[in-house]
Structure 1
């Protein structure tokens, strides 16, 4: 591939697509040059170009780009006064608030590295990530359950400072008073001790931050990943990686972006998750959009907020789109300001997409990626008919390779299944302090995704399954996703998850867990009969369990690890 931006990121020994003749799968007709940038370059450009545009809407309180730029500089000065130096790690353990945005860019302004932390992590998880990353400063909100936990961990690990960010301080005046009144039992007081500093004190100095040299190839974010399958590892995402994925999004949206008309992007997914980090935060700043931030997903609040702000872009996971599909017409009508809707984080069921598009009158497209790629590597086009059950074509400037599962040095022909690998300027620098893991995740310079899939004749990617979820039943490969997609064809199924369970005769067997749509009922035996002409005997679930709800991650992704743990516990009890 001749793209200079791509060539600059390839590692020694990387296969050249031009010499292998392997199809790129770039379905967007061009491969743009993507110059390396720093994340602060995005903010500086937005502040200079659109100073009076609204940058953030948080619960109806708004900050203009000029105000955001000034806030970032003051926070950067405050971090320097705390002793944060280039290369130091700053943990952000925050819900979606203006504090996150300000501290994110302030950390970069002084050459620091952001460590994204989920506020719902338990103390053990927080301890591991903070120790592994070597954080010296952490910021969190003043919700008692979160603040108390972070305080204990920070004290135990000897962190230098904990920045307290009061939720009420970011709300409009009347909402702030009501929040302090009605939520007072949930609000932690920030003690005036050596560990704690309030955000207000952090930004109290009017001095400008000392200038620091930051390069695009410097690490910007440590994004922890792999926690559901093993000990979490931190993907080192550089400034160039993250700004490249934003530039790729801009190229992907293409003619739909009018520089004279401000985009309004809904930020209901947590910014500490890499999908929202790129698609909402970085992309919004890159295009001068208004970020409409919500601290968590609540269906009514989300719908009312979209109606109030007239959001033009929705970014969500399939379970959220499924919930939106169940809205009555009057509520659903509030969403129709959105010109485009993008789904990520998990496979998008066929019926969820079709139902949403039918009611919305605009496309819902599915993208695919992983934390190690900042995260997007493919997406279905916004114009034209997407291919059902496809993850789309390669993002601009990205090369998708399908490699032999038995011999990764070999590229598979078009239409043949293998491990999905990717190259592009968005691919991470490597794992933090884990050269052993780097050796496993890169093959000839290409990033291994751990997913099985194939490219069709048009370069569209179809994902068969996660290699780690693969079920070996009687020596045959059984892919859970194949079973899940068959279950989704039944009109009563709302959600479906398939896992491997131990089987005395076959070694492993598939077991399905499903939840039903409101007003529908079906028995497991009926579902077995429904699947008979859709699955082979080896793929047929040994058992189908119907539940009211299925476990999910914080961003609403269906989660298998809880079900796997339950089944192992049952097996251990005999």
Structure 2
């Protein structure tokens, strides 16, 4: 087995040293230090309105004091049921300053999904907006759960005056009326104070800053407990892999949803570390994203592969000035080589693939931004992050030499554990003889002599074909080489003789009339006998997660429901 901690240090391609320390730091100290260093610099640009670091810190202080006056304090769980709006950032840092714990909830959750996670986390108060897509759901959860109070903000209030008037006059149908209810507090009322109040001291290593729900490796939603140090360390780690850190304009397009750990670290916390600016968009729309890049001269865009493909396919791409864009980080799903090549050729920006999990605060590894990277890999570990391979059947043993193994990770960004799930912790962590606690990722991979990690597949996604293990991602990688294939997922279908057989589902490039049989006949000669698919099924769309990555789990559920 190649040991990444001794073998490839001389081949490390990220700036700075891999073997370094990140001293304990609370998220509030991180934010306040950046605000002190850049008080007048813009932190947020929201549809034409800018908020400086000093203004945002003042807002966070007012949130903390407003919550304290309502009776909330250290250890309380307070939820954010918000899209990408300035309220999110003020509430996020205000909750942390209070010594409370943020709980992220997706704005796309149903009443049932939101209620279940509210109950599991013990969330007492929920921030949301007076938007018709959010407030009705939040009100139902308020009536049906242990939540004591809603704090409701207004999108119009965060806009420049002219746009605010337009929003009120012409987009009223997107606004829900806030009921006259003593359990509901307006965001403007919450922050109607001077921001001066006592706040508790924080233990960065042990105080939980964020509960981030994740399916983990079992598909059952669990709350990853991320400490202040987990989040601040990961933000500093991500900032330091950028060779241009501190050398020029740092303006990042914040279109990934903030409720997701990828954006929480790579857009929000990382940018606060650098003193940069976040161009916030409430949701991803390719046309709006292109316009925002051109209007603000954004330099960076973290996203998922489907976002980059949508940008390339947009009719206004050719007329959009993207010359400011320097670096784009792709995560959440494998980045097809053809997409990387095409995006870089058209935009002139580097598109590099990285990797992380909710349990790792967001980021474990990435390809170098400027040095030579290796397409098809998830890059090298970021500083202070250790990666090893263990046996796929017994995580207490190293993987056999030269064979793929389950990826395990250690570092300052690894979670404390799962909220109220000691049983899940026992399955998720494994300790070595030195007492190091390793996070089991459920991903199977290899590590080359230069320390670049390649994911082969996920343990739970492997298809058992007559005693052989088939990795869907390997079949998908070949399918992406077919000129007609736009997106693809491969799953196992029950088979009476072999147990399971691989089947591919694809969407086609616009204008293509290829049939599933034609694609299957092209594919199978390129595969081993046990890997060959029984069919290629052409679909108009494949299911995606809330951040836009293809969802194998949802596809399996759809196929099972179809019988």
TM-score w.r.t. the length of structure 2 is 0.95
Residue in 2 that maps onto 1:532: 524
Bigger mean CA offset, 149-158 vs 473-482: 149-158
1:144 Cα deviation after fit: 1.7
- The one of 173, 181, 187 equivalent to 2:175 is 187
Distance 1:513 1:441 in 2: 31
Shift of 1:188: 1.1
The residue number in structure 2 matching 1:90 is 78
Which residue number in structure 2 is paired with residue 367 of structure 1? 354
**5+ residue gaps, structure 2:** 432-436
Aligned position for 1:419? 406
Alignment of 1:443 onto 2:435:
no
Larger relative CO (CA 8 A, sep 6+): 1 or 2?
Answer: 1
- 1:462 pairs, out of 422, 430, 454, with 454
2:217 paired with 1:225: no
Query: Would the aligned equivalents of 2:461 and 2:472 in 1 still touch at CA under 8 Å?
Result: yes
Residue 271 (1) aligns with residue 264 (2): no
Q: Counterpart in 2 of 1:567?
A: 559
For residues 71-470 of structure 1, the aligned pairs below 5 Å read: 71-217=59-205, 218-226=207-215, 229-253=218-242, 255-258=243-246, 261-328=248-315, 331=318, 333-412=320-399, 415-444=402-431, 445-470=437-462
Whether 1:38 aligns to 2:30 is no
Encode CA deviations 1:129-151: one digit per residue, 9 max, x unaligned: 00110011001111123211111
Alignment map for 1:538-549 (pairs within 5 Å): 538-549=530-541
Structure 1 residue 111: Cα displacement: 0.1
What is the CA-CA distance between 1:373 and the residue it aligns to? 0.2
Gaps of 5+ in 1: 1-16
Residue-by-residue CA offset, 1:28-66 (whole Å, 9 max, x unaligned): 353222111111122111211111111100111110111
Q: Which moved more, 1:485-494 or 1:496-505?
A: 496-505
Structure-1-length-normalised TM-score: 0.93
**Cα offset, 1:569, TM superposition:** 2.1
Matches within 5 A, 1:477-516: 477-516=469-508
Q: Alpha-carbon deviation of 1:329?
A: 7.3
1:5-50 CA-to-partner distances (Å, cap 9, x unmatched) read xxxxxxxxxxxx79x9676795535322211111112211121111
Indicate the RMSD between aligned Cα atoms, in angstroms.
1.8
Shift of 1:528: 1.3
Q: What is the alpha-carbon distance in structure 1 between the residues aligned to residue 310 and residue 326 of structure 2?
A: 19
Please report how far the alpha carbon of residue 301 of structure 1 lies from its aligned counterpart in structure 2 after TM superposition: 0.6
Q: Write the distance in 2 (CA, Å) between the matches of 1:330 and 1:278.
A: 28
CA distance 1:330–1:140, shift in 2 (3 Å): closer
Q: For residue 328 of structure 1, report the CA deviation from its aligned partner.
A: 4.9
List per-residue Cα deviations over 1:485-510 (Å, max 9, x = no partner). 01000011111111122112111111
Alignment coverage as a number of residue pairs: 552
Quote how far apart the aligned CAs of 1:405 are: 1.1
